[in-house]
Every structure is written in C-alpha cells, then in structure tokens.
Amino acid sequence: MTALTAITGARIFDGDLWHDDSALVVEGGKVAAIAALRDVPADARIVPMDGLSLVPGFIDLQVNGGGGVLLNEQHDVEGIRTMCAAHARFGTTGLLPTLITDNREVTTKTIAAGLAAREAGVPGFLGLHLEGPHLSIARKGAHDPSLIRPMEQADLERTIAARKGLDTLLMTLAPENATNEQIAALHAAGVTVSLGHSDSSYATAAAAVEAGAHMMTHLFNAMSQLGNREPGMVGAALDLGHVNAGLIADGYHVHPVAIRAALRAKRGPGRIFLVTDAMSPIGTDMTSFFLNGREIFREGGRLTLADGTLAGADIDMASCVRYMRDNVGIDLAEALRMASLYPAEAIGLTGRKGRLTHGHDADFAVIDDGVNVLSTWIGGIPVFNA
C-alpha cells in the first residue's frame, strides 16, 4: 500500500478556494484529497505546517536562467537541473527553460539537453521555450540582432521533431519572420506558438492567431503598443479572447497602472499569467554575466545592457505574486492563480498542474503571510526547505 502523507495546520488554497482546518493528503505523488482533520487516515504520516499557507506550485513559462546558470551558456542537463533547483527555492514547481535567440548549433544542443532532462526526470522540468531567433529586429530588446533571421524549412522541421520528445515546447516568434503556414504547421504538431518581439499590426497578429498562435510573450514589452488608430500587438493580446499573455511583474517592465488596465480589458477565456523572464543571477549574489558575448549588469533589481536596455528580469515568481498583491492591488488568490493555474491552462496542463484537487500532481509551496516560500514540494516530495 502506498504511504500517505498529510500536511496539516496550514490554510490551503486549492486553486479556486481557501480551506481552513483541513489537511492536504498526498499519495503516490498525487493529491488524494483535501480532508477535514477528523477524516485524515490514521496511518498517514503527519507533516505540520502550523500558521502557514499551502498553495499550488508556481509554473513559470519563461526562465532564461537561475542559480548562476544561463541556458544560452550552459545548455546541458546539469544546467537545466540547476535552474530548476534555483527557482524551486521561490515556490516554482514547474518551468520551461528558455533559450534566448542564438545560433543553430546552440539551439540544437539546447533541444538535446531538453530531451535528456525529460529522460532523466529532472524535478520541475516541463519542457523548453525557444524565444527566437525568428523575431523582429525592430523589437529585438536584448536579443542579438546579428542572430535574428527568418524561419526556414530546416528550422520548422527541427522544431516539430523536438516537440515529439518533449511534453511541452513553446516557441516565441514574430509574424514578420515566420509565415502563417509555418505557424499552422507548428500548431498542428503540438508546438505552443507565442507571438512576441514583434512590431506587427493588429491585423497581422490576428491572422497569426487564426493560423494557430494562441499566446503573447511578455505583454507590453518588445511589441507594438496600443494606439488609437492601430491597436498593435498589445491590442491583439487584449482583444483576441482565446489568446493568453505572459506578464513580467517586477515594477520595471510594466507600470502597475498599465497592468491594472490590461487586467480589466482582457477578453476571455484567455488569461494574463505571470512569468519571471529570470536570468542567471536568481538565487546568487552575481553582479553581472554575459549573453552572446555582451555583458549584462545587475543593479537595483534591474538587469541591463551597457546602453540601459532591459535584459531579462531579476525577479522570482514569489516576488511577482507579492508585487501583484501589494503594488497592483489584486487579491492574493487571483495573484496565485496568475502564477499557477493560468500558465498551466496556457500550455494545456490543467489536468495535472495548477490546482490542488484529487488526482493533480502534489506540487505545492508553503508560504507565510509575506509570500515568502518556506518549503516547496514536487510530486509529493520536498525539494526545498528554508
């Protein structure tokens, strides 16, 4: 008989509702139940978490690095393992290591590393996110313009082949550098296509969505803005109901007023969800690092190139949740959904991730009232304890 574990004493958020005076019962790496204390099986191993809150583990669909590792610089299983472990300290139980625009050789090696990480069962590894190289130079952000290029048939075939070996493969591209036929082929193969780093019009973005794209990468950043006569990419993200959109909530990438406006304007069923866009310094005291041979500086909570261009973010998911509650002013439950349930929905994992209900993976974080993470569990096993 599989051993039972009961987490007691904590207030439990199941992804929809809060439960008091209850226990989370875990069996075989899955949630067995949220049970009244009197109904906890007598043979269960009791793990007390008195006075704390237990919430679904965070899911981050855009993680460039962590723990001193940048995927572009260390594209192997150990690099991915280090990144996952670094973000687990901040409540993230599932992530997509993200490759920033690079050359063909690095992309090929990164895909191989992702396939090996899946085979090795690296805790927290959900798949890969290829951010580029098929982007718009006009909205390149920190991506090296010399590496940006149109999608070719070989790129399409390599991406489709990679998807067959990964649970999730997300690709950010700009409609300017990929055709709608290519987008349709990626979508048909199960690749999640996200539009980003694009200067396209609303009509062009809408056509790409019609072809199969159904996500936008880091809303407001590196995309054409909402105008009175041309709604642009931002307008498309908010107006097209079945599009989901990532958001970096660090106080630097998007103003809280813009976030509040976007949350009010977004048509459903698509959602705005949180991403960190984190780089290698997360979980370290690093003050600088290199991307594609260019130095990126860390100061005051920001990461920038020498010219001041933002280059990823210096934030973890727990801090994003805290920012949404304290600075944007949304309810903690909704901020938690933006960090767990909504990204799970965006990549089709709602049957496994994002909630703590019967049959879902026992992925959760234990937090205090300040949204500080004290413990993180993946598949019913603690992977971090403060």
Mind telling me the catalytic residues?
277
Q: Which two tokens stand for residue 317?
A: 């998911």
Q: Alpha-carbon distance 244 to 186, whole Å? A: 17
Cβ atoms 180, 211 nearer than 8 A = yes
Residue type, 37: L
* 16: DSSP letter: S
Decide: 233 and 207 in contact? Cβ < 8 Å: no
The DSSP call for residue 26 is E
Phi, psi for 190 (deg, rounded to 5): 95, 5
Q: What angle do CA 72, 126, 172 make, to 5 degrees?
A: 55
SS3 content of the chain, % helix, strand, coil (to 5): 30, 30, 40
Q: Which two tokens stand for residue 295?
A: 């130095």
How do 192-195 and 302-304 pair as beta strands? unpaired
The answer to whether 58 and 339 are in contact (CB under 8 A) is yes
- Relative to beta strand 215-216, strand 373-378 is unpaired
Q: Where are the alpha helices (DSSP H) in the chain?
A: 77-88, 104-120, 153-165, 180-188, 202-211, 232-239, 256-265, 317-323, 332-339, 341-346
